Structure 1
Amino acid sequence: MTAAVDHVPSVILGLCSFTHDSAAALLVDGELIGFVEEERLSQEKHTRQYPRRAVEWLLGEAGLVPDDVDAVAYNFQPARYLVESPASLRLAFSAATRSRAVPRAVGFAKVALRTQRRLQSLKRRFPGARISPVLHHRSHQLAAFAASGWDDAAVLIVDSLGERQTTTIADGRCASRPAVRTVEAIHDPASLGYVYGAITEHLGWGRGDEEGTVMALAALGDPARFRHLFARAVRTTATGFVLDPGYFLPRVLSSGYPRTSRRFIEETCGERHPSESLQDVHRDLAAALQERTEQVMLHLARRARLVTGSRRLCLGGGVATNCVSVGRIIEAGIFDDVFVPPAPGDAGTAIGAAVALHTDSGSRRPVSGVARACYLGPSYPEPTLDLTPWPGLQQKVLGIEVAEFLADQLAHGMIVGLFQGRVETGPRALGNRSILASPLEAGVVERLNATVKFREPFRPFAPMVLADQAKEFFTLGQEAPYMSMASGVTDKARQHIPSIVHANGTSRLQTVTAHQNPFMHEVLRAFARRTGVPVLINTSLNIKGKPICGTPEMALNCLAGSGLDALLLEGRWITK
């Protein structure tokens, strides 16, 4: 009797492309070969372009060419947008939303057509491959659940918009392959990501880029001033939440349509120009927004616990990058364990879409290389560095005690860029493309913001700590390997390293183990031997408005154009 042949795609390319945060992932026989965001290679932050460089690197890493790709998994389904077009016409029955009904219907139809054309363009790039659109939230769900490595979990996705869905609760189960089943869904115009983006824009920062700045600003304001407004504008229900269109106008998928209403402006403040100095009203608005976001996220987490019965939670979607909200969920004790993948936003859906297609194919091969993996991009182990384009830079090759040398420089107050190993996944630098500094150095936060990162003076910096000593300084009570969770701090932290404590009494924590990042674990141990403190400041190797440095050239530009003291690039010590 002949054994059944497994007629399934063996080479699956997962793509996030043409919207924002373009990225690519490659599965070969179920194994994740790699993942990288295009911005790390193109130097264009949040690029919408087809991730050409990312795809070329992935195929080269696997020894493949485009004709070898069996299937392309894309992270949106065009037909799902069409459903919203007739549904949008219901807005015509209310005076508050009547003017948005037709433009919204037309907008969703246009995006459906545009998405279909994008699929056709992918077919032209990969004529021998099957092009498979994957529901956006399913891509998020599988990206989060597969990365957790758990056998079962509740999966909560909260973002701005995926086709029509803005919030989903799923039941995640894994036998040989990860699978998710959506239990409940909330559809646009009820969108927490939409609200946060609207206020970010209203306060003078870039929507889809600088929501983290608003989260940081929130710690300096008083939420009481606008608490009742947000309670009305974002109202919780038994199964989720709704938005009051009197404050946040329904989304129209084309430019020129404001998200906030005239009533919202009258009851809060006018739009702030980026050059305008910050006032108390701006801080208070940010504080009320953040408080309401945390309340709604807690409400959704409790709902996920109720409807799935799971004691573990995976979080994904753009709103899952709100580390303070994640910290509140952990503190509430709703779940025994909470997990956020290293790339919870849209870029990570490239992985989720590929996993979805592998799962749907019926392949008997398990998914591997996704669980607890965060260093998935290109590496440059022996770069040939020609410093001619950067006059004044000097380099020397270090010996074998690189970690000891780096720890010593940090203990003496140097601020050092670090470029080593494979590029991290997601928006946080996790010790491979980082800027490191001692939290014991006087004025280090002010110096980092003013002369290195060139960003707002109220922005905090995150600590990285040896995982087995984290409880001495932080109260989170679980590991936080991807810098995605805000933790309370202990008295010891307040006393010895106040530079890493934000105004709200929290720190966005990264715990480090020898298994996760052997080099950084060694550096932290060496720094602790010198200072008694196993904690370093860790921020991304970039300046404001630029992506994390994915290539040696980008890292050298960062050194030359900022207040960094030195750059450690694959064992080479480069100074000005």
Structure 2
Amino acid sequence: MRTNNQLAVLGLCSFTHDSAAALVVGGRLTGMAEEERLSGVKHTRAYPAGAVRWLLDDAGLTPADVDIVAYNFAGQRYLAGLVDTPSHLMRPATRSRALARAASLAVIHHRYRQRVRILGSLFPNARVRPVPHHVAHGMYAFAASGFREAAVLIIDSLGETHTTSIGSGIALPAGDIRYQIRRSVRDPASLGYAYGAVTVHLGWRRGDEEGTVMALAATGDPARFRDVFARAIRLTPTAFTLDPGLFPLRVLRHGWPRVTPAFAAATCPPRGPDEAVTQVHADVAAALQERTEQVMVHLANRAQAVTGARRLCLGGGVAMNCVGIGKILQSGRWDEVYVPPAPGDSGTPVGAALAAHREVTGAVPGGLVRSCYLGPSYADFTPPQAPAPGLTTQQVDDPARFLAEQLAAGKIAGLFQGRLEAGPRALGNRSILASPLIPDMANRLNAAVKFREPFRPFAPVVLAEHAAEYFSLGQPSPFMSIAVPVTRLARDRVPAVVHANGTARVQTLTREVRCCPFHGHAITGLYQLYAASGIDVRLAW
């Protein structure tokens, strides 16, 4: 292994979902990329060959130069879930699934060992270091925040045997970080599991279309099924539990339903993907979303009670629930709430690499604080002289002004420039742009560009100095992580960005290079586009 100044640590998320990779070389994060952005396969579970190849090529390394492969799971911990089998066998509500659950945990552990061997064979001089899943989430969320001290709340479906963790982060001298998990919630109490189960019941894909259910919730009445979800997801003084009579005990294999017949009887029959979306589906979604927000706020309050912190970092798949994040911010208990640009599993390679690097060197790599534009760029790309049929090319002297004029004229534009964003949000480098001043613009985008449900909203971007005029935000939001209520001015001037529940998932744009979507071009790009043209807000996927 080379010296700490030369150490190459490759973080990986692979073989599960949202495959991605991150690379640390010489004490700096050089980049990260999600495989789906390169392969076009959404939520791919394949080994992230394209992302790894780009990272190593960009750093001038080969697989033989990698010293540590930091994997985002500590799979031996799955076996710890077996100790709960006797208690599940004793309970009538969980007895029928207890042995199948135990067998599935053993299979997952076996597959984990196979995966570690595969990774070891790909990097002949590297040591594969497993990193507990919630440690990977938490290290990334806290290190990226730049906070000196914060509570760290991770909420997902399952990380080994845990679903929720409360940690504390402290930034120490000499670039070190102390991150400690203080409390945790074990499966089967899983907010991510419950939300995914209802997503499937309502006819959408688990792990992909929970955002669709969140959007649909704004059009429903939560009162209709409020009592059902209060029983299904019960608050406790320190966390929450799931009712196995409604959300059955998890079995980590395909083909095991995630809601019971009793749940369907209390809400609605399962909806097929091609069936019409009706009011009952919207009402179920609304009740689920309301209960999810209540649990998220409850857990955030618990995190403050445990840590005493006034700043909060969040991670895990449930941290993608921007409406719930907004409720936490609106509780008024926190000075600032931070969600990294890739809070789901695609961000865990960064956290895994940080944790492994710290374990060896005693320091956490730099180059991460509030960073988002970490993927490949295509600076050498030259458009072909003969574009595809029906298209023309045009070289313009002032791209920002040209684009502003096109948007003001009602055109829809695709923007491709700079380094690829981390995470699922389009944050200015790979974005669809349109003017929010046109009332029916969201309908046009959904129908003619995105080809998706008409109730799906689009997110606004606003210059930071104008944010308070349009949105009840009160803090920066550079990564479209928080949905907050809009002001009357927003309703009057930019109605296309206002969702049915009166909120918008906003991105604030500043002059700072590290937060500017035209990364590396100072105040040119989107900031210049808005500042020069007077268009204060845009729509983006």
TM-score w.r.t. the length of structure 2 is 0.96
Q: Which residue of 2 aligns with 1:110?
A: 107
Q: Which residue of 2 aligns with 1:179?
A: 178
Q: Which residue of 2 aligns with 1:275?
A: 274
How far the C-alpha of 1:533 sits from its partner, in A, is 4.1
1:411–1:527 contact (8 Å) kept in structure 2: no
Q: Which residue of 1 aligns with 2:261?
A: 262
2:511–2:527 contact (8 Å) kept in structure 1: no
How far the C-alpha of 1:386 sits from its partner, in A, is 3.3
2:14–2:46 contact (8 Å) kept in structure 1: yes
How far the C-alpha of 1:514 sits from its partner, in A, is 1.5
Change (3 A) 1:518 1:434: closer
What amino acid does structure 2 have at the position aligned with 1:279?
T
Distance 2:133 2:385 in 1: 43
3-state SS in 1 of match to 2:394 = strand
Q: Deviations over 1:172-231 (max 9, x none)?
A: 111122231011000100000000000000000010000000000000000001111111
Q: Deviations over 1:229-280 (max 9, x none)?
A: 1111100111100111000001101111101011111111111001111111
What amino acid does structure 2 have at the position aligned with 1:485?
I
1:8–1:362 contact (8 Å) kept in structure 2: no
Q: Which residue of 1 aligns with 2:536?
A: 534
2:428–2:526 contact (8 Å) kept in structure 1: no
1:391-540 paired onto structure 2 within 5 Å: 391-399=389-397, 401-515=398-512, 516-517=515-516, 519=518, 522-527=525-530, 530=533, 532-539=534-541
How far the C-alpha of 1:387 sits from its partner, in A, is 7.0
How far the C-alpha of 1:89 sits from its partner, in A, is 3.4
Q: Which residue of 1 aligns with 2:30?
A: 33
Distance 2:235 2:198 in 1: 19
Q: Which residue of 2 aligns with 1:376?
A: 374
Distance 2:423 2:468 in 1: 26
3-state SS in 1 of match to 2:120 = helix
How far the C-alpha of 1:86 sits from its partner, in A, is 3.3
3-state SS in 1 of match to 2:361 = coil
1:18–1:50 contact (8 Å) kept in structure 2: yes
What amino acid does structure 1 have at the position aligned with 2:469?
E
Change (3 A) 1:521 1:292: farther
How far the C-alpha of 1:393 sits from its partner, in A, is 2.0
Q: Which residue of 1 aligns with 2:244?
A: 245
3-state SS in 2 of match to 1:265 = helix
Identity among equivalent pairs (%): 56
Q: Which residue of 1 aligns with 2:342?
A: 343
3-state SS in 2 of match to 1:511 = strand
Distance 1:384 1:497 in 2: 36
How far the C-alpha of 1:6 sits from its partner, in A, is 5.6
Distance 2:316 2:176 in 1: 22
Q: Deviations over 1:457-502 (max 9, x none)?
A: 0101110000111001111111100001001111111111111110
Distance 1:9 1:281 in 2: 58
What amino acid does structure 2 have at the position aligned with 1:265?
A
1:165-204 paired onto structure 2 within 5 Å: 165-175=162-172, 176-204=175-203
Count of residue correspondences: 532
Distance 1:222 1:395 in 2: 49
What amino acid does structure 1 have at the position aligned with 2:37?
R
Change (3 A) 1:248 1:518: closer
2:510–2:527 contact (8 Å) kept in structure 1: no
Change (3 A) 1:386 1:518: closer
What amino acid does structure 2 have at the position aligned with 1:500?
V
Change (3 A) 1:525 1:388: closer
3-state SS in 1 of match to 2:29 = strand
What amino acid does structure 1 have at the position aligned with 2:401?
E
1:119-268 paired onto structure 2 within 5 Å: 119-175=116-172, 176-268=175-267
Q: Which residue of 2 aligns with 1:314?
A: 313
What amino acid does structure 2 have at the position aligned with 1:511?
T
Distance 1:526 1:233 in 2: 48
What amino acid does structure 2 have at the position aligned with 1:534?
D
Q: Which stretches of structure 1, 4 residues or more, deviate above 6 A after TM superposition? A: none
Task: Indicate the larger mover: 104-113 or 521-530.
Answer: 521-530
Distance 2:385 2:88 in 1: 60
2:355–2:364 contact (8 Å) kept in structure 1: no
3-state SS in 2 of match to 1:217 = helix
For structure 2, the 5+ residue unaligned runs are none
Change (3 A) 1:518 1:51: closer
Matched, 1:44 2:46: no
For structure 1, the 5+ residue unaligned runs are 540-576
What amino acid does structure 2 have at the position aligned with 1:493?
A
What amino acid does structure 2 have at the position aligned with 1:376?
L
Distance 2:385 2:310 in 1: 53
How far the C-alpha of 1:17 sits from its partner, in A, is 0.4
Distance 2:333 2:101 in 1: 37
1:14-93 paired onto structure 2 within 5 Å: 14-93=11-90
How far the C-alpha of 1:382 sits from its partner, in A, is 2.8
2:373–2:517 contact (8 Å) kept in structure 1: no
Distance 2:14 2:497 in 1: 36
Q: Which residue of 2 aligns with 1:286?
A: 285
How far the C-alpha of 1:517 sits from its partner, in A, is 1.3
Change (3 A) 1:9 1:73: farther
Distance 1:526 1:301 in 2: 37
Change (3 A) 1:34 1:522: closer
Task: Indicate the larger mover: 317-326 or 386-395.
Answer: 386-395
The RMSD of aligned alpha carbons is 1.5
1:550-569 paired onto structure 2 within 5 Å: none
Distance 1:224 1:518 in 2: 41
What amino acid does structure 2 have at the position aligned with 1:204?
G
What amino acid does structure 2 have at the position aligned with 1:385?
P
Change (3 A) 1:529 1:70: closer
3-state SS in 1 of match to 2:375 = coil
1:38–1:53 contact (8 Å) kept in structure 2: yes
1:134–1:353 contact (8 Å) kept in structure 2: yes
3-state SS in 2 of match to 1:367 = coil
1:320–1:344 contact (8 Å) kept in structure 2: yes
How far the C-alpha of 1:366 sits from its partner, in A, is 4.5
